Amino acid sequence: MLACHPAKKLSFNRSISDGDLVIVYEKHESMKAVTVCEGSVLQNRFGVFKHSDWIGKQFGSKVFSSKGGFVYLLAPTPELWTLVLNHRTQILYIADISFVITYLEVLPGCVVLESGTGSGSLTTSLARAVAPSGHVNTFDFHEQRAESARADFERTGLSSLVTVKVRDIQGEGFPDDFTGMVDSVFLDLPQPWLTIPSAAKVLRHDGTLCSFSPCIEQVQRTCETLRTRFTDIRTFEVLLRTYEVREERMQSLSEDGDGSNGSVHRKRRQCSDGSYVLSGSPSISSVMARPCGEARGHTGYLTFARVKCVS
Protein backbone atom coordinates (compact mmCIF):
# COMPACT_ATOMS: atom_id res chain seq x y z
CA MET A 1 0.00 0.00 0.00
CA LEU A 2 2.88 2.38 0.77
CA ALA A 3 6.26 2.82 -0.82
CA CYS A 4 8.71 2.72 2.02
CA HIS A 5 11.80 2.55 -0.07
CA PRO A 6 12.55 5.43 -2.39
CA ALA A 7 13.42 2.90 -5.08
CA LYS A 8 9.87 1.57 -5.03
CA LYS A 9 8.40 4.96 -5.63
CA LEU A 10 4.68 5.06 -5.21
CA SER A 11 3.51 4.92 -8.73
CA PHE A 12 0.14 3.56 -9.52
CA ASN A 13 0.96 3.42 -13.17
CA ARG A 14 2.58 0.11 -12.58
CA SER A 15 0.48 -2.80 -13.67
CA ILE A 16 -1.22 -5.42 -11.57
CA SER A 17 0.73 -8.60 -10.85
CA ASP A 18 -0.03 -11.94 -9.31
CA GLY A 19 -0.23 -11.57 -5.52
CA ASP A 20 -1.15 -7.85 -5.52
CA LEU A 21 -3.85 -6.51 -3.25
CA VAL A 22 -6.48 -4.70 -5.31
CA ILE A 23 -9.65 -2.93 -4.29
CA VAL A 24 -12.49 -4.04 -6.53
CA TYR A 25 -14.89 -1.16 -6.98
CA GLU A 26 -18.45 -1.91 -8.03
CA LYS A 27 -19.90 1.38 -6.99
CA HIS A 28 -19.61 3.82 -4.14
CA GLU A 29 -19.89 2.01 -0.82
CA SER A 30 -19.63 -1.28 -2.63
CA MET A 31 -16.02 -2.35 -2.70
CA LYS A 32 -14.02 -5.41 -1.82
CA ALA A 33 -10.37 -6.21 -1.15
CA VAL A 34 -9.06 -9.01 -3.33
CA THR A 35 -5.60 -10.54 -3.49
CA VAL A 36 -4.89 -11.39 -7.09
CA CYS A 37 -4.20 -15.06 -7.64
CA GLU A 38 -3.53 -16.39 -11.12
CA GLY A 39 -6.04 -19.28 -11.19
CA SER A 40 -8.87 -17.76 -9.19
CA VAL A 41 -12.02 -15.89 -9.99
CA LEU A 42 -14.17 -13.22 -8.40
CA GLN A 43 -17.86 -13.84 -8.54
CA ASN A 44 -20.42 -11.14 -7.86
CA ARG A 45 -23.77 -9.98 -9.20
CA PHE A 46 -22.02 -8.69 -12.32
CA GLY A 47 -20.72 -12.12 -13.25
CA VAL A 48 -17.51 -14.08 -13.02
CA PHE A 49 -14.20 -12.21 -13.27
CA LYS A 50 -11.01 -14.15 -13.97
CA HIS A 51 -8.02 -12.82 -12.06
CA SER A 52 -5.83 -13.84 -14.96
CA ASP A 53 -7.56 -11.14 -17.03
CA TRP A 54 -6.43 -8.53 -14.50
CA ILE A 55 -2.74 -9.31 -14.50
CA GLY A 56 -0.84 -6.80 -16.60
CA LYS A 57 -3.65 -4.23 -16.50
CA GLN A 58 -3.02 -0.88 -14.87
CA PHE A 59 -4.50 0.03 -11.52
CA GLY A 60 -7.55 2.13 -12.29
CA SER A 61 -8.64 -0.14 -15.17
CA LYS A 62 -12.16 -1.25 -15.90
CA VAL A 63 -12.38 -5.01 -16.25
CA PHE A 64 -15.20 -7.15 -17.58
CA SER A 65 -16.85 -10.37 -16.52
CA SER A 66 -17.92 -13.26 -18.70
CA LYS A 67 -21.41 -11.71 -18.73
CA GLY A 68 -20.09 -8.31 -19.79
CA GLY A 69 -20.51 -6.73 -16.36
CA PHE A 70 -17.66 -4.57 -15.16
CA VAL A 71 -15.79 -3.40 -12.08
CA TYR A 72 -12.80 -1.12 -11.53
CA LEU A 73 -9.54 -2.28 -9.98
CA LEU A 74 -8.01 0.29 -7.65
CA ALA A 75 -4.71 0.47 -5.85
CA PRO A 76 -5.27 0.20 -2.09
CA THR A 77 -4.98 3.30 0.11
CA PRO A 78 -5.69 3.60 3.84
CA GLU A 79 -8.96 5.38 3.00
CA LEU A 80 -10.14 2.56 0.74
CA TRP A 81 -8.92 -0.02 3.23
CA THR A 82 -11.08 1.52 5.97
CA LEU A 83 -14.07 0.98 3.70
CA VAL A 84 -13.33 -2.66 2.90
CA LEU A 85 -11.67 -4.15 5.98
CA ASN A 86 -13.27 -6.87 8.08
CA HIS A 87 -15.09 -5.30 11.00
CA ARG A 88 -13.95 -7.26 14.02
CA THR A 89 -14.79 -4.27 16.22
CA GLN A 90 -16.22 -0.80 15.84
CA ILE A 91 -13.78 1.19 13.76
CA LEU A 92 -12.78 4.78 13.19
CA TYR A 93 -13.67 6.43 9.89
CA ILE A 94 -11.99 9.05 7.78
CA ALA A 95 -13.28 12.19 9.53
CA ASP A 96 -11.99 11.12 12.94
CA ILE A 97 -8.90 9.45 11.51
CA SER A 98 -7.72 12.42 9.49
CA PHE A 99 -8.27 14.81 12.36
CA VAL A 100 -6.44 12.55 14.80
CA ILE A 101 -3.37 12.34 12.56
CA THR A 102 -3.08 16.10 12.14
CA TYR A 103 -3.99 17.02 15.69
CA LEU A 104 -1.59 14.53 17.22
CA GLU A 105 1.06 16.00 14.91
CA VAL A 106 2.06 12.57 13.67
CA LEU A 107 4.87 13.07 11.15
CA PRO A 108 7.37 10.88 9.34
CA GLY A 109 9.78 9.40 11.86
CA CYS A 110 7.41 9.55 14.83
CA VAL A 111 6.97 6.72 17.31
CA VAL A 112 3.29 6.18 18.10
CA LEU A 113 1.61 3.86 20.62
CA GLU A 114 -1.99 2.78 20.09
CA SER A 115 -4.46 0.71 22.08
CA GLY A 116 -6.68 -1.11 21.28
CA THR A 117 -5.80 -2.20 17.82
CA GLY A 118 -9.36 -3.30 17.11
CA SER A 119 -9.72 -3.81 13.36
CA GLY A 120 -6.68 -1.74 12.53
CA SER A 121 -8.57 0.99 10.69
CA LEU A 122 -6.76 3.83 12.45
CA THR A 123 -3.49 1.90 12.59
CA THR A 124 -3.30 1.85 8.79
CA SER A 125 -3.41 5.64 8.62
CA LEU A 126 -0.98 5.99 11.52
CA ALA A 127 1.46 3.76 9.63
CA ARG A 128 1.20 5.95 6.54
CA ALA A 129 1.86 9.07 8.63
CA VAL A 130 5.01 7.78 10.37
CA ALA A 131 6.50 6.23 7.21
CA PRO A 132 9.20 5.75 6.11
CA SER A 133 11.28 5.88 9.28
CA GLY A 134 8.83 5.92 12.20
CA HIS A 135 6.96 3.11 13.88
CA VAL A 136 3.52 2.31 15.26
CA ASN A 137 3.27 -0.05 18.23
CA THR A 138 -0.29 -1.16 18.67
CA PHE A 139 -1.66 -3.19 21.61
CA ASP A 140 -4.83 -5.20 22.06
CA PHE A 141 -5.60 -7.64 24.83
CA HIS A 142 -7.66 -9.80 22.52
CA GLU A 143 -5.34 -12.50 21.17
CA GLN A 144 -7.34 -13.31 18.04
CA ARG A 145 -7.91 -9.69 17.10
CA ALA A 146 -4.23 -9.01 17.39
CA GLU A 147 -3.51 -12.01 15.19
CA SER A 148 -6.01 -10.92 12.53
CA ALA A 149 -4.66 -7.39 12.61
CA ARG A 150 -1.13 -8.72 12.10
CA ALA A 151 -2.34 -10.72 9.11
CA ASP A 152 -4.01 -7.60 7.70
CA PHE A 153 -0.84 -5.50 8.01
CA GLU A 154 1.03 -8.27 6.26
CA ARG A 155 -1.52 -8.20 3.49
CA THR A 156 -1.47 -4.41 3.13
CA GLY A 157 2.32 -4.37 3.20
CA LEU A 158 2.60 -2.38 6.43
CA SER A 159 4.25 -4.93 8.68
CA SER A 160 7.60 -3.16 8.64
CA LEU A 161 5.92 -0.06 10.09
CA VAL A 162 3.57 -1.68 12.62
CA THR A 163 4.15 -4.03 15.55
CA VAL A 164 1.07 -5.65 17.10
CA LYS A 165 1.37 -6.92 20.65
CA VAL A 166 -1.07 -8.62 22.99
CA ARG A 167 -1.28 -6.76 26.27
CA ASP A 168 -3.86 -5.54 28.75
CA ILE A 169 -3.08 -1.85 28.50
CA GLN A 170 -5.65 -0.72 31.05
CA GLY A 171 -4.31 -3.22 33.55
CA GLU A 172 -0.57 -3.09 32.89
CA GLY A 173 -0.02 0.17 31.06
CA PHE A 174 2.44 0.47 28.19
CA PRO A 175 5.75 -1.44 28.46
CA ASP A 176 8.45 0.36 30.41
CA ASP A 177 10.96 0.24 27.57
CA PHE A 178 8.97 3.03 25.88
CA THR A 179 9.53 5.45 28.76
CA GLY A 180 10.18 8.91 27.36
CA MET A 181 10.46 7.59 23.79
CA VAL A 182 7.04 8.19 22.34
CA ASP A 183 5.79 11.11 20.26
CA SER A 184 2.07 10.32 20.41
CA VAL A 185 -0.33 7.99 22.16
CA PHE A 186 -3.79 7.08 20.91
CA LEU A 187 -6.37 5.38 23.11
CA ASP A 188 -9.60 3.74 22.01
CA LEU A 189 -10.36 1.86 25.22
CA PRO A 190 -13.43 1.49 27.43
CA GLN A 191 -11.74 3.08 30.47
CA PRO A 192 -9.02 5.25 29.01
CA TRP A 193 -8.40 7.10 32.28
CA LEU A 194 -6.74 3.98 33.68
CA THR A 195 -4.01 4.33 31.07
CA ILE A 196 -3.31 8.05 31.40
CA PRO A 197 -0.51 7.76 34.01
CA SER A 198 1.29 5.25 31.81
CA ALA A 199 0.78 7.46 28.75
CA ALA A 200 2.32 10.40 30.61
CA LYS A 201 5.34 8.24 31.38
CA VAL A 202 6.04 7.00 27.87
CA LEU A 203 5.48 10.32 26.15
CA ARG A 204 8.46 12.51 25.48
CA HIS A 205 8.58 16.19 26.06
CA ASP A 206 5.64 18.03 24.46
CA GLY A 207 4.28 14.68 23.25
CA THR A 208 0.61 14.42 22.34
CA LEU A 209 -2.21 12.16 23.42
CA CYS A 210 -5.65 11.48 22.00
CA SER A 211 -8.43 9.45 23.52
CA PHE A 212 -11.52 8.45 21.56
CA SER A 213 -14.67 7.68 23.53
CA PRO A 214 -18.27 7.36 22.41
CA CYS A 215 -19.73 8.47 25.75
CA ILE A 216 -19.45 11.81 27.49
CA GLU A 217 -19.05 10.15 30.91
CA GLN A 218 -15.85 8.54 29.65
CA VAL A 219 -14.65 11.93 28.43
CA GLN A 220 -15.43 13.52 31.76
CA ARG A 221 -13.32 11.03 33.69
CA THR A 222 -10.53 11.10 31.15
CA CYS A 223 -10.28 14.88 31.31
CA GLU A 224 -10.25 14.87 35.10
CA THR A 225 -7.36 12.42 35.09
CA LEU A 226 -5.52 14.26 32.34
CA ARG A 227 -5.35 17.55 34.26
CA THR A 228 -2.66 16.24 36.58
CA ARG A 229 0.06 15.67 34.02
CA PHE A 230 -1.28 17.12 30.80
CA THR A 231 -2.06 20.53 29.44
CA ASP A 232 -3.86 21.95 26.41
CA ILE A 233 -6.73 19.53 26.98
CA ARG A 234 -9.35 19.88 24.27
CA THR A 235 -12.35 17.80 23.33
CA PHE A 236 -13.91 17.74 19.86
CA GLU A 237 -16.54 16.05 17.83
CA VAL A 238 -15.98 15.71 14.08
CA LEU A 239 -18.65 14.72 11.60
CA LEU A 240 -19.03 14.72 7.84
CA ARG A 241 -22.00 15.73 5.81
CA THR A 242 -22.03 14.40 2.27
CA TYR A 243 -23.85 15.83 -0.73
CA GLU A 244 -25.81 14.44 -3.64
CA VAL A 245 -25.32 16.10 -6.97
CA ARG A 246 -27.88 15.87 -9.68
CA GLU A 247 -28.84 17.53 -12.90
CA GLU A 248 -32.51 18.39 -12.74
CA ARG A 249 -34.82 19.87 -15.27
CA MET A 250 -37.20 22.41 -13.94
CA GLN A 251 -40.08 24.10 -15.62
CA SER A 252 -39.53 27.73 -16.19
CA LEU A 253 -42.52 29.88 -15.35
CA SER A 254 -41.25 33.32 -16.16
CA GLU A 255 -43.39 35.09 -18.75
CA ASP A 256 -40.60 36.36 -20.95
CA GLY A 257 -37.07 35.44 -21.60
CA ASP A 258 -35.60 37.45 -18.75
CA GLY A 259 -35.13 34.40 -16.55
CA SER A 260 -31.84 33.30 -15.13
CA ASN A 261 -30.88 31.32 -18.19
CA GLY A 262 -31.43 34.01 -20.76
CA SER A 263 -30.05 31.83 -23.48
CA VAL A 264 -32.89 29.37 -23.25
CA HIS A 265 -35.48 30.25 -25.81
CA ARG A 266 -39.00 29.57 -24.68
CA LYS A 267 -42.43 29.76 -26.25
CA ARG A 268 -45.58 29.56 -24.20
CA ARG A 269 -49.08 28.40 -24.82
CA GLN A 270 -51.92 29.04 -22.50
CA CYS A 271 -53.92 25.94 -21.65
CA SER A 272 -57.60 25.74 -21.12
CA ASP A 273 -57.12 25.82 -17.37
CA GLY A 274 -55.23 29.08 -17.64
CA SER A 275 -51.82 27.75 -16.81
CA TYR A 276 -48.90 28.23 -19.09
CA VAL A 277 -47.02 25.37 -20.55
CA LEU A 278 -43.67 25.82 -22.09
CA SER A 279 -42.87 24.49 -25.46
CA GLY A 280 -39.73 24.61 -27.52
CA SER A 281 -37.14 24.36 -24.73
CA PRO A 282 -39.60 24.47 -21.91
CA SER A 283 -37.40 23.53 -19.03
CA ILE A 284 -34.14 24.72 -17.61
CA SER A 285 -31.67 22.18 -16.53
CA SER A 286 -29.16 22.82 -13.83
CA VAL A 287 -26.74 20.97 -11.62
CA MET A 288 -27.84 21.05 -8.03
CA ALA A 289 -26.52 19.72 -4.76
CA ARG A 290 -28.17 18.83 -1.50
CA PRO A 291 -27.03 17.02 1.63
CA CYS A 292 -27.64 13.28 1.65
CA GLY A 293 -30.59 12.35 3.81
CA GLU A 294 -28.74 10.03 6.12
CA ALA A 295 -25.48 10.49 7.91
CA ARG A 296 -23.54 9.19 10.84
CA GLY A 297 -24.80 11.34 13.72
CA HIS A 298 -22.20 10.42 16.29
CA THR A 299 -18.99 8.45 16.36
CA GLY A 300 -17.24 9.56 19.49
CA TYR A 301 -15.54 12.43 21.25
CA LEU A 302 -11.88 13.07 20.61
CA THR A 303 -9.96 14.40 23.58
CA PHE A 304 -6.48 15.73 22.89
CA ALA A 305 -3.82 16.74 25.38
CA ARG A 306 -0.14 17.46 25.60
CA VAL A 307 2.25 16.37 28.32
CA LYS A 308 3.13 19.24 30.61
CA CYS A 309 6.53 20.62 29.96
CA VAL A 310 8.61 20.64 33.11
CA SER A 311 11.61 22.81 32.44
Partner 1 sequence: MNEGNSSNGRVTWEGCSVLLDINDGDRLVFARLSPAAKLKIGNKNCSLQPLIGRAFGTVFQVDTAPGGPCLSPAQVHVTNAEEIGDGQGNDEWRDKVNVNSADEVRDGAVNVESRDNRALVDNNTAQSLTGEDIEAMRRQGARGNEIIEALIANSATFEKKTAFSQEKYRLKKQKKYAPKVLMRRPVARSICEAYFKKYPSKIGFLRVDTLSLLLSMANVSSNSDILVVDMIGGLLTGAVAERLGGTGFVCNSYFGQAPYSMDIVRIFNLSDEICKRILRSPISDLLSPKESSEKILQHDVCNVEGQSNDQISASVSMVENSHSSENGISDIGIDNTEPAIEVRKAPKAGERAQKEVIDSWKENGFSSLIVAAPELDTWTVVKDLLPLLANSAPFAIYHQYLQPLATCMHNLQLGKMAIGLQISEPWLREYQVLPSRTHPCMQMSAFGGYILSGTKICSTANSATPTD
Ligand X SMILES: C[S@@+](CC[C@H](N)C(=O)[O-])C[C@H]1O[C@@H](n2cnc3c(N)ncnc32)[C@H](O)[C@@H]1O
**Cβ proximity to ligand X, 50 vs 167, nearer residue:** 167
Least distance in angstroms from the C-beta of 141 to ligand X? 4
d(CA 209, CA 230): 9
Reduced to 3 states, what is the DSSP secondary structure of residue 104? coil
Residues with Cβ within 8 Å of 229's Cβ and at least 6 positions away in sequence, in order, are 196, 197, 200, 307, 308
Binding mask 103-132 for ligand X (x = CB under 6 A): ------------xx-xxxxx----------
CB atoms within 10 A of CB 186: 27
Least distance in angstroms from the C-beta of 150 to ligand X? 13
Residue 162 binding partner per list partner 1, ligand X, none, with a CB distance cut-off of 5 to 8 Å that depends on partner kind: none
Closest CA to 69 of 51, 44, 33, 32: 44
Residue 198 contacts ligand X per CB under 6 A: no
Residue 210 contacts ligand X per CB under 6 A: no
What is the spatial order of strands in the sheet that 301-307 belongs to?
162-166, 135-140, 111-115, 182-187, 203-213, 301-307
18 carries a ligand binding annotation: no
Residue choice 32, 57, 135, 142 for contact with ligand X (CB under 6 A): 142
Q: Are 42 and 49 in contact (CB under 8 A)?
A: yes
CB atoms within 10 A of CB 200: 19
Residue 90 contacts ligand X per CB under 6 A: yes
Residue 91 contacts ligand X per CB under 6 A: yes
Amino acid identity, position 186? F
Residue 118 binding partner per list partner 1, ligand X, none, with a CB distance cut-off of 5 to 8 Å that depends on partner kind: ligand X
Binding mask 30-69 for ligand X (x = CB under 6 A): ----------------------------------------
What is the spatial order of strands in the sheet that 21-27 belongs to?
30-35, 21-27, 70-74, 61-64
254 carries a ligand binding annotation: no
Residue 168 contacts ligand X per CB under 6 A: yes
What are the residues binding ligand X (CB under 6 A)? 89-92, 115-116, 118-122, 139-142, 145, 168-171, 188-190
